[in-house]
Structure 1
Amino acid sequence: MMQTLVEKLENVKAEMDGHVLVVTMNRPKALNALNNQTLDELQAVFDMAAQDAEIYGVIITGEGRGFVAGADIVQMEPYKSEQGRDYAGYAQATFNKIEALPKPVIAAVNGFALGGGCELALSCDIRIASEKAVFGQPEVTLGIIPCFGGTQRLPRLIGAGLAKEMIYTGKHIDAQTALSYGLVNKVVPAEELLDAAKALMADILKVSPVAIKYAKLSINKGADMDLMNGLEVEKDLVGLCFATEDKEVGMHAFLKKQKPVFR
């Protein structure tokens, strides 16, 4: 299944590194800008990642100087109201797939992450940035607003004040500023970026995959609820955890003072 899909991809590359799928945005001449074909390919890759039991986690990065420099303005320029709304809806659906993947997703942001590129990074669980990374939501300079999830995910991540400053000014911020905002988890030298992402993923994959899946679901669902309803979701999901082999393995190993080996 994967090999058949990989052979069809043009704007996205997908390669396995052990049990980790490394997805590389691959339109370097356009700084990996998002057009319909790129979104189609991203959707196909993440549909495959959701179904393939040999894929335990996903890392997204970019080819060349860009992570993703935004949506494709050449494609968008002639759009009128309904076309613009539909395009936003399709991109949102793509990023929703990434956010909802029941496996960890790390963005290894190598360069420009502007507009839709910043929004792509926001849909991932964790963001690691190269020292060369640049973030921004410059849509207001084009007479529109962030519409691939930026007005919703960015303030949830870094707070309304900083998100409004980024969105209202359209200005770019460097990697260290993104770190101070809480937009990224860490900043590393450019040549160490992919290795750092793989090392973090390796740490994540040492623990229970069932627990990771339900923790991600609980965090994501709870973000849209008040505290009391979020706590109910947490209780329901830990109840499911208690019925799994992973719980038996983990607790047995703890009591025996051994390292758990999860399947």
Structure 2
Amino acid sequence: MTYENILTKFQNGITTITINRPSKLNALNKATIQELHDAFDAANKDANTKVIIVTGSGEKAFVAGADISEFAHFDVKNGGKLAAKGQELLFDFVENLSTPVIAVVNGFALGGGLELAMACHFRVASDNAKMGLPETSLGVIPGYGGTQRLPQLVGKGRAMELVMTAGMIDANQALAYGLVNHVTTQEELLPLAEKIASKIMRNSSVAIKGAIKAINANYKDGLDGFQVEIEEFGNCFATEDFTEGTTAFLEKRKAEFSGK
């Protein structure tokens, strides 16, 4: 598939999706959100893709925010529709993918950019990265899940401060807060993400799918995360990967998982 605003590359079990609007600091508009949905969907359905990496083009920005020109004139009804559609198409969609998604934050991740990074399963950042939710400085609040995922990751008090002040934090502060898992240089950023991806790919993709579902359940209203864990644990016993993993362990050899 050909895209206008993103680039995709598959290599060694990893699909890398790059948001490619450098003149706009990779800001998210409706067209880019749709393309990202399509690319994530395709990668998740590709049996050869074991890990998805998402990043921004250049060295300045992961995603510097949403394209404000698209919604500055909206009324209440259209504003609500914008948030609902964006969450459905991209942010909630990414969070619930069965393929692990790593956000490679290579610069500014602001507003919708930080919301996209937080929707991913975890994040690594370059040492020049800056992160924040500046929406209150525009007279609006985060609308793509920021008020929900930021407290889950950094705690209520820190999230309240970041949203209320519309401030930015640097990569090391994000690391101390638990917002990102690792910080490294621009040069080592993608290699680090690929190294982590290679560790993930050694393990059972069908088990990882169940683990993602169980972990996410803890953060969803109306779901008992412990019960989801029990169900997913039980489901593993019917898989070829469980047979291979336990047999390999008992035979003291490396498991060769089929993902089935």
Tell me which of 73, 78, 90 is aligned to 1:78: 73
What is residue 12 of structure 1 aligned with on the other side? 6
Tell me which of 186, 208, 215 is aligned to 2:204: 208
Superposed structure 1 runs of 4+ greater than 3 Å apart:
none
What is residue 150 of structure 1 aligned with on the other side? 146
Percentage of identical aligned residues: 47
Alignment size in residue pairs: 256
Change in CA separation of 1:225 and 1:257 when aligned onto 2, cut-off 3 Å: farther
Tell me which of 28, 32, 36 is aligned to 2:26: 32
SS of 2:18 mapped into structure 1: strand
Shift in Å, 1:49? 1.6
What amino acid is aligned across from residue 249 of structure 1 in structure 2?
A: E
Within-5 A mapping of 1:79-158 = 79-93=74-88, 94-158=90-154
Instruction: Give ranges in structure 2 of 5+ residues lacking alignment.
Output: none
Shift in Å, 1:67? 0.3
What amino acid is aligned across from residue 181 of structure 1 in structure 2?
A: Y
Change in CA separation of 1:139 and 1:188 when aligned onto 2, cut-off 3 Å: same
Shift in Å, 1:222? 2.1
- Aligned mates of 1:11, 1:157 — CA distance in 2: 29
RMSD of equivalent CA atoms: 1.2
SS of 1:102 mapped into structure 2: coil
What is residue 36 of structure 2 aligned with on the other side? 42
- Aligned mates of 2:225, 2:37 — CA distance in 1: 29
Instruction: Give ranges in structure 1 of 5+ residues lacking alignment.
Output: none
- Aligned mates of 1:147, 1:226 — CA distance in 2: 22
Q: TM-score, normalised by structure 2?
A: 0.96
Tell me which of 207, 213, 233 is aligned to 1:217: 213
Tell me which of 228, 237, 257 is aligned to 1:262: 257
Bigger Cα displacement from structure 2, 178-187 vs 49-58: 49-58
Q: TM-score, normalised by structure 1?
A: 0.95
Tell me which of 158, 165, 173 is aligned to 2:161: 165
